[in-house]
Amino acid sequence: MRVRETTCINRVGVRAYIERVNPCTGRLRMIGHDMQTLASQVVGFLMFLQVCTPVTSKTLKVTTIHEPPFVEKQLVNGRYTGFIPDLLDELKDRLGINFDISIVKDGAYGVPKSDGKWTGMIGEVLGPDADFAAAPLTITSTRLNVLDFTLPFMTTGTVILGKNPLEIKSVGELANQNTAKYGTIQNGLTKQFFQNSTYGLYARMWAKMNSDPSVFVDKAATGVDRVRQGNYYFIMDSVMADYWSKHRPCDVKVIGNPLNSWGYGLAFSKGSPHVSTFNLAILRMQEDGTLSRLRNLWWKDYCSSASTIAASSFLISSVIVLIHSFIHL
């Protein structure tokens, strides 16, 4: 577990000493001089007065990916915005660790190559470019073979995104029709889910998708655009689908229930000493409502408001027409 050293000067006459602070528990261990008994009596007072000055902590390199609302493309005052930057800000405050955020060079989450190396964020964590990845990166057995993940900071699943008004109401109806196409992200986990599935319905859907490579897209935003154009259904992460279905112009909707359940975690290199520290911080953020607050902040439902405004406008227009009709009777 990472330990932060802090040098403290006692303002009430006790000689200088060094204490070690565990950033997860706040417990202190006195080092040097035969003064532990006396120091333990005043340490609460010292911490209350904040007379300890932390030594600057190490900065960790973070790789992430442009994927709204996790990381928005637009910089605000020179910094990235989104759920992930806000999550890292919370971790910085709780753990005393600084983060240097950069966007993954090849724009990919990461898949294994024929030579055993990985692309995307996973490849950067395995190499010298990043200490860990912070993104909607799903925890899988394949990835756990090469990385250590934290506990999930968010859960997700696989759902269908369709255009309003809907004709398809379930995955079974989608599989049994031959009018509209459906697909996934080209190098994503959802595609692998269907490709590896032995369940008859999903295997049949994979066979249909695999026979037409044009149904696969490079990123979620592209898939959503195709849904909006019509005659196409996009199979994607439920968290992403929830975001786009609540996002203007409010013309897409989630169909049916999730087909499975996954978790998003922070990904570190094998044996990283930071994982246990981050795990405890994530648990505390879950318990104190921080993760829910951040989720609500970035997954605002703009479409419910739009629907209300549209309904109100229709009602007002109807009243005006009715009054106009009465005037001319």
Q: 139-175: per-residue pLDDT in tens?
A: 999 999 999 999 999 999 999 999 998 889 999 999 9
Burial environment of residue 197 by CB neighbours within 10 A (0 to 12, 13 to 18, 19 or more):
middle
Under the banding of pLDDT at 50, 70 and 90, the label for residue 258 is: very high
DSSP class of 46? H
Distance CA(43)–CA(60), nearest Å, equals 30
Superfamily of domain 158-260: Periplasmic binding protein-like II (3.40.190.10)
Q: Can you give the pLDDT at residue 229?
A: 96
Which residues pair with residue 118 across a beta bridge? 112
Q: Is the pLDDT of residue 45 over 90?
A: no
Rg (CA), the chain: 26
Q: Is the pLDDT of residue 265 over 90?
A: yes
Domain ranges in the chain are 4-54, 59-155+264-298, 158-260
SS (H, E, C) 185-237: ECCCHHHHHHHHCCCHHHHHHHHHHHCCHHHCECCHHHHHHHHHHCCEEEEEE
**What is the token pair recorded at 96?**
């005393």
Q: The domain 59-155+264-298 is classified under which CATH number: 3.40.50.300, 2.60.40.1180, 3.40.190.10, 3.40.50.720?
A: 3.40.190.10
**What is the token pair recorded at 198?**
């032995």
Distance CA(242)–CA(246), nearest Å, equals 6
Task: Say whether 327 sits in a helix, a strand or coil.
Answer: helix
Which of the two residues, 203 and 13, has the higher pLDDT score? Answer: 203
pLDDT in tens, 269-309: 999 999 999 999 999 999 999 999 999 999 999 998 544 44
Which residues pair with residue 282 across a beta bridge? none
pLDDT in tens, 213-222: 999 999 899 9
Under the banding of pLDDT at 50, 70 and 90, the label for residue 7 is: very low
Q: Can you give the pLDDT at residue 305?
A: 59
Residue with tokens 């009430």: 12
Q: Is the pLDDT of residue 187 over 70?
A: yes
Angle at 262 between CA 100 and CA 74, to 5 degrees: 35
